[in-house]
Amino acid sequence: MSSSEPFDFRIEHIIDIIKDAQPAIIGLQFPEGFKRRAPAIASQISEATGVDILISANPCYGACDLDVAILDNVDILFHFGHAQLDDNKYSEKVIFIETRSDTDVKEVVRKAVPEIKGKRVGVLTTVQHIQKLPDVCEILASEGKECLIGRGDSKIAYAGQVLGCNFSVADGLDCDEFLYIGSGEFHPLGVSLATGKRVLVADPFSNEVREVDPRRILKQRSAVIANSLDAETFGILVSTKPGQDRMALARQLKELAEKRGKTAYILTMDLITPDQMLQFKVDAFVSTACPRLAVDEVGRFSAPMLTPQEFEIVIGEREWEEITFDEIRGE
Amino acid sequence: MSSSEPFDFRIEHIIDIIKDAQPAIIGLQFPEGFKRRAPAIASQISEATGVDILISANPCYGACDLDVAILDNVDILFHFGHAQLDDNKYSEKVIFIETRSDTDVKEVVRKAVPEIKGKRVGVLTTVQHIQKLPDVCEILASEGKECLIGRGDSKIAYAGQVLGCNFSVADGLDCDEFLYIGSGEFHPLGVSLATGKRVLVADPFSNEVREVDPRRILKQRSAVIANSLDAETFGILVSTKPGQDRMALARQLKELAEKRGKTAYILTMDLITPDQMLQFKVDAFVSTACPRLAVDEVGRFSAPMLTPQEFEIVIGEREWEEITFDEIRGE
């Protein structure tokens, strides 16, 4: 990994695997942020090994979003940017390349220390920085703090790792507050809503420290719920992506709707987009797919898009105060 | 079928099948133009039979575009709006509901007769009007014309039926000109380019008769080819949709590119959209997927989008004069 490359695509490791396993043809799958690298990485691997390569061009937003169709055509699929989901792989053909970040986290953690109010600190991050957690704990310990790292459920590959749809490493952690290492708002917001505890964000890319404030997102989600209170007809969305398929939950929600005298249709699809949902005239949608969809695309759908928990509030099966981000939990 | 409903969704037929086969759960798949009908049709079927229903919300543009993922969850999939593709179905679970049109075609055919120059007329249409071909031939015969209807290859369910990607019913038909019954420009343009013969369009929806003029589309395709002449790097697209998967062709094109000293990457995906292709920086794309993609979405991609035949022209393996629409042919 050169100093100009902040992410480690492990090309030498991949070349070693190919030389060893001698596949006739391999697949490469990248999340959206890395797709532009695909041709150059394919050329590098092809020149070193002569292997045939297919590049998955489907949108990819997580380990949940494995390209199932390409598996029929390749001997090995290298899936970049995410850690393995669940204890069991979807297919033996898939090798996860986690693209760890080389970005220093110490500086921003030192910057965060004066902002930490409590003594017991729950530390969280995404897979890109997971190898830096010992550094984080060392700094916290040297400042007299206690560093707590949760194990998480079966969807979680590493202690302390959060996904956009799984905050189980924060479950029952006996800490005063959380320190999240990473960029983006979604993960720390989810932890804040799930635990009700203070969450501090230390962003190693921007070198900024900030406290999560869930008020804006709560107001936004409350508006979506409010706009759905008169809904009579619901479209319940199920994604067929292997890590997002929650058909059993969708059926439960449909029964719940019907018990309350509402009409509900189960709509199944791969990628859910606002454009595609225009085709279906319902009063509100309920997404059992990627929990980020309802939140990140708020206001872009032709009808309010609820999470399962928000739908329960709408039909009176859950209290407004129990609003939280949706999660896809493992065992 | 009521007089206010121009298309026959065969609801009673579907209800009979369900009562007979007693499936626990069925799927409904509609092309884009019919998706808005899905909830009402689902309610009608559910009320009559009590069967559980899943609605496929994935984009659907043809019989090639069967929702494979939904098949895992249903006992029967009713696929609306298209005739069965190929002699063999993809799955025994799929029942094609062709949604024939009740729209009268006689009036527009009578209107077309004075415009017909030759004696021997090849008659073509889409599956929606296929049952009207005897009416068409009767009118032509009464006007002293000879009515010729081609059989087509294995992709074609009915004599005289054209698809947007298959004009095989026009192959070698010993006619002076063609009469196409239907709306839209794509099918008659394809027949015009494939045969070099005059094609008259009789549109029963607008009640208009017009002659196909391929000059504008030829100019447009020539511009796409011209813009690709300097391309060094190609992205060759393969769709994994069951009826569009032409991996063998993609591999041949890649070899051809490499023989000419060019670089080519094979990109596989389900739905190909201009937005998604933005992620890949190449000098030109070659689509082996739905042949309409390059033509209908011209100018919307970040790089010229060629058909396989146009790519052959670009790299000097085919003459410019041999330009034609791409087809996905059967046996």
Of the pLDDT bands very low, low, confident and very high (cuts 50, 70, 90), residue A71 is very high
Residues of chain B with C-beta less than 8 angstroms from the C-beta of A60 = none
Of the pLDDT bands very low, low, confident and very high (cuts 50, 70, 90), residue A43 is very high
Asked if pLDDT for residue A328 goes beyond 80, the answer is: yes
Position B149 in a domain: yes
CATH number of the domain where residue B83 is located: 3.40.50.11840
The pLDDT assigned to A6 comes to 83
Residues B152, B172 within the same domain: yes
Asked if pLDDT for residue A232 goes beyond 50, the answer is: yes
Indicate yes or no: CB of B55 within 8 angstroms of CB of A267: yes
Q: How many CA atoms lie within 13 A of A277 on its CB side?
A: 31
Position A331 in a domain: no
Position B3 in a domain: no
User: Among partner residues A73, A233, A276, which is closest to B59 by beta-carbon distance?
Assistant: A276
Distance in angstroms (rounded) separating the CA atoms of residues A305 and A315: 14
The pLDDT assigned to B116 comes to 98
Residues A115, A159 within the same domain: yes
Place of tokens 């009808």: A303
Contacts of A47 (CB under 8 A, 6+ apart): none
Position B16 in a domain: yes
Q: What is the count of structural domains for chain B?
A: 3
Q: What pLDDT tens digit does each residue of chain B (331 aa) get? A: 344 568 999 999 999 999 999 999 999 999 999 999 999 999 999 999 999 999 999 999 999 999 999 999 999 999 999 999 876 678 899 999 999 999 999 999 999 999 999 999 999 999 999 999 999 999 999 999 999 999 999 999 999 999 999 999 999 999 999 999 999 899 999 999 999 999 999 999 999 999 999 999 999 999 999 999 999 999 999 999 999 999 999 999 999 999 999 999 999 999 999 999 999 999 999 999 999 999 999 999 999 999 999 999 999 999 999 999 999 999 8
Residues of chain A with C-beta less than 8 angstroms from the C-beta of B36 = 279-281
Are A182 and A126 contacting, i.e. CB atoms less than 8 angstroms apart? yes
Helix axes B11-21, B38-49, angle to 10 degrees: 40
CATH number of the domain where residue B245 is located: 3.40.50.11860
Are A152 and A161 contacting, i.e. CB atoms less than 8 angstroms apart? yes
Residues of chain A with C-beta less than 8 angstroms from the C-beta of B240 = 69-70, 72
Indicate yes or no: CB of A265 within 8 angstroms of CB of B39: yes
Q: Which DSSP category does B138 fall into? A: H
Per-residue pLDDT averaged across A3-14, rounded? 84
* Two tokens, residue B117: 């120059």
Residues B112, B208 within the same domain: yes
Position A1 in a domain: no
Among the listed residues B157, B2, B8, the one whose alpha carbon sits nearest the alpha carbon of residue B81: B8
Q: Which residues of B290-321 are buried (b: 16+ CB within 10 A; e: fewer)?
A: bbbbbbebeeebebbbbbbbbbbbbbeebeee
Per-residue pLDDT averaged across A233-262, rounded? 96
Boundary of a domain, candidates B64, B97, B130:
B97
Residues B184, B118 within the same domain: yes
Shortest CA gap A269–chain B (Å): 5
User: Among partner residues B53, B268, B279, which is closest to A54 by beta-carbon distance?
Assistant: B268
Closest-approach residue (CA) in chain B for A234:
B39
> DSSP labels for A176-212?
SEEEEESS-SHHHHHHHHHH-S-EEEEETTTTEEEE-
Position A58 in a domain: yes
Distance in angstroms (rounded) separating the CA atoms of residues B216 and B325: 14
The pLDDT assigned to B2 comes to 40
Q: Is A99 left (phi over 0), alpha (psi -120 to 50) or beta?
A: left
B273 and chain A: CB distance < 8 Å anywhere?
A: no
Indicate yes or no: CB of A268 within 8 angstroms of CB of B57: yes
Residues B142, B205 within the same domain: yes
A36 and chain B: CB distance < 8 Å anywhere?
A: yes
Cα four-point dihedral sign A308, A200, A212, A321? positive
Residues B187, B229 within the same domain: no
Residues A317, A226 within the same domain: yes
Shortest CA gap A299–chain B (Å): 20
A2 and chain B: CB distance < 8 Å anywhere?
A: no
User: Which residues does residue A76 pair with via DSSP β-bridges, in sequence order?
Assistant: A26
Residues B255, B199 within the same domain: no
The pLDDT assigned to A88 comes to 62
Asked if pLDDT for residue A3 goes beyond 50, the answer is: no
* Two tokens, residue A126: 């995404």
User: Among partner residues A72, A277, A282, which is closest to B39 by beta-carbon distance?
Assistant: A282
User: Which residues does residue A306 pair with via DSSP β-bridges, in sequence order?
Assistant: A286
H-type alpha helices, B64-202: 68-71, 106-112, 133-142, 186-195
Among the listed residues A41, A46, A38, the one whose alpha carbon sits nearest the alpha carbon of residue B277: A38
Q: Is B260 left (phi over 0), alpha (psi -120 to 50) or beta?
A: alpha
Where does residue B4 rank: exposed (0-12), middle (13-18), buried (19+ CB within 10 A)? exposed
Residues B233, B248 within the same domain: yes
Cα four-point dihedral sign B19, B20, B22, B25? negative
Cα four-point dihedral sign A10, A11, A14, A20? negative
> Could you list the residue range(s) of the whole structural domain that residue A78 is in?
11-97
Residue pairs between chains A and B whose CB atoms are closer than 8 Å: 112
Position B327 in a domain: no
CA distances to B97, B106, B116, B174, B194 from B199, rounded to whole Å, are 29, 18, 9, 14, 11
CA distances to A227, A296, B240, B252, B293 from B274, rounded to whole Å, are 33, 22, 17, 24, 10
> DSSP labels for B220-265?
HHHHHHHTTTT--EEEEEEE-STTT--HHHHHHHHHHHHHTT-EEE
Q: What are phi and psi of A245, to 5 degrees?
A: -75, 105
The pLDDT assigned to A5 comes to 61
B50 and chain A: CB distance < 8 Å anywhere?
A: no
Shortest CA gap A204–chain B (Å): 26
* Two tokens, residue B109: 């055919």
* Two tokens, residue A93: 């053909």
Distance in angstroms (rounded) separating the CA atoms of residues A33 and B273: 17
Q: Which residues of B107-140 are buried (b: 16+ CB within 10 A; e: fewer)?
A: ebbeebbeebeeeebbbbbbbbbbbbbeebbebb
Where does residue A283 rank: exposed (0-12), middle (13-18), buried (19+ CB within 10 A)? middle
CA distances to A48, A171, A250, B119, B293 from B140, rounded to whole Å, are 66, 77, 55, 9, 35
Of the pLDDT bands very low, low, confident and very high (cuts 50, 70, 90), residue A2 is very low
Residues A116, A84 within the same domain: no
* Two tokens, residue B8: 């026959």
Residues A24, A89 within the same domain: yes
Are B95 and B79 contacting, i.e. CB atoms less than 8 angstroms apart? yes
Residues B172, B244 within the same domain: no
User: Among partner residues A233, A268, A270, which is closest to B73 by beta-carbon distance?
Assistant: A268
Contacts of B50 (CB under 8 A, 6+ apart): none
What's the pTM value of the predicted model, to 2 decimals?
A: 0.94
Among the listed residues B110, B42, B124, the one whose alpha carbon sits nearest the alpha carbon of residue B80: B42
Indicate yes or no: CB of B233 within 8 angstroms of CB of A39: yes
The pLDDT assigned to B5 comes to 61
Position B331 in a domain: no
CATH number of the domain where residue A143 is located: 3.40.50.11850
